[in-house]
Structure 1
Amino acid sequence: MDLLAPPTLGSDRPQRLRQSPAVRRLVRETRLDPAAFVLPLFVRGGEGVRDEIASMPGVFQLSVDEAVREATEAARFGVGGVLLFGIPARKDAEGSTASDDAEAVQRAVRAIKEEVPGIAVITDVCLCEYTDHGHCGFIDSHGGLDLEGSLPQHVAAAVSHARAGADLVAPSSMIDGVVGAIREGLDAAGFGHVGIFSYAVKYASAFYGPFRDAAESAPVFGDRRTHQMDPANAREALREAALDVEQGADLLMVKPAVAYLDVVRQVKDAFPDRPLGAYHVSGEYAMLKAAAGRGWIDERRAVLETLTSLRRAGADILITYYALEAARWLAEGGERGPSRPS
């Protein structure tokens, strides 16, 4: 036996399909399409307001006119939707302004639907941005959370968003029964055509910190572990998703995304007939931005690789603060753009 002779290779050579960018693109199994991207936007009062969020470089609190500008640019690059979060001028214990037709979210819905009719407008339905204590529901007489008691206010907010023209409402509080209550409320108010994009599987995650800066929604006391899911649990995710489907959820969501790819796959396999979103959350975004800002990673390649992993895991819709940047990169040619050799 000649130990110096090269090994005999079989006829099946996977490397043949990796020899050029053209062939790699041709045989790619998972593809990114900006039409499946959703861009979160934080809207507030005023005009010409564009305040950058320190913990989320490139993300801003926007007045309605600036939100319309952002949605217009997103639509120009084929982004499929925007997800609106509101920052009210006034907060109280019941989050009463969440259902005010004159609030920033409702005004932004009307303005975006008028100026950018081709983009889907989704509204977050929760009270944490609107309560002075930062929790998703009411506080009871003993200082605890009366989450179920706040369901009527969630319904009122969802109906107000639907009245403004929202295509989908997205209840995010993870309160038991919130999807069913909103479905009944929308139907009773004549908005049976408005869909529910449920945050069906939302974990009590450490990756939400920058979001709470952006939405000004950090709890004044306590945390949200009594109603958001334990990060250690996966089987429970299927139970939560099943309950929301039974209550009328049209679309499901897993949040966060990157640390829960196994859950994304399990939920998609269990509910293949429901479109599934994965929310690439603020902390996941901020880590990429921070590393890229220090020159530790190639931002374009790292972001597109991350978003591809969400699609590969089974997500149909990608909610990400990178939606517009990623859409631009894809328009420029994706992997053909500038990059460092690996």
Structure 2
Amino acid sequence: MKVLVLDDVELNNVLMAEALKGVPECTPVAFTSPDKALAYLTESAAEVGVAMVDFEMPRMNGIEFIRAARKLDGFAHVPVVMVTSSDQRSLRREALEAGATDFVGKPFDPVEIRARVGNLLALNQARVSEADRAAWLSREVAAAVAVIEARERELVERLVRAIEHRDTDTGEHVWRVAQYAKLMAEELGCEPDWCRQLGLASTMHDIGKIAVPDSILLKQGPLTPEERVLISRHAERGYEILKESSSDLIRLAADIAVSHHERWDGGGYPNGLARTDIPLAGRIVAVADVFDALTSDRPYKKAWPVRTARQYLVENAGTQFDPACVDAFLASWPKVLRIAAHEAPPRAA
């Protein structure tokens, strides 16, 4: 490990280098110019284990040097020993505030120098080793999380495939709903990780339809009041399927499943929630789900033109939909049109 030695008097640097010879694995790098020492640290701060800095130097004293050095990448935690003949408490306090770690008096004792530098080098090496271990642990955690997330994505895809066997339009529908939901969440300023989770969780918003009979799910024409009651139960059934999971993603999907048919004015189902009592994820997916349903062919209706569906959202903002979610949807309109014009991308086998 290198020890930076800075003193404007060359002889002092020679004496310091001589004193450091007894420190194991220590290579002194001496400078008489603070500017050159800073230039060296700019390129090689990671190689320096300790810095020995004189206080009294022309143009830039030791305290000023420490302040400048502490701003450099990789030098914030390197021990710095100030070498000074002054014992003024105010000077030492100022040096500590600037980032000095320790002090050595002039003329210095070579035995003291070796002991202090040896201890500080060991301390710095322990810090570096701990930082390396923390970085390794961070990489390991990230890798483990990636595996868990991949498994969760596979679980979600398989659940959605189960619904697709009941309704051939579902695959395209859930893909578009996911894209719309992410757009709105991003426009609302939600955290990027949450936006991604929302997009994936939203694909399970109709998971409860797996319990709806084909005679109702695929019926040509309007539903009877009794059939509407039966199909409306898919929100609660979806929640029952997904609730109480240990996965944040699945719990988010459960919230969406049970709340995406609630209305801003309290007239929705299954719980009659209103305004912000409805989870944000449910309020977002409500807009995405209705817009895509309106602009898609269904067994009971033909697709609406996108501008007609847009007008429906505008007219029902503040009653059926959260106005902020509608505003976020419309703010992303060019992207909405691109999504609406494309089917879901092909799924990997």
Question: Common fold, TM-score beyond 0.5?
Answer: no
Q: Which has the higher helix share?
A: 2
- Higher normalized contact order (CA 8 Å, seq sep 6+, divided by chain length): 1
User: TM-score w.r.t. structure 2 length?
Assistant: 0.29
Q: Which has the higher strand share?
A: 1
Larger-Rg structure? 2
User: TM-score w.r.t. structure 1 length?
Assistant: 0.29
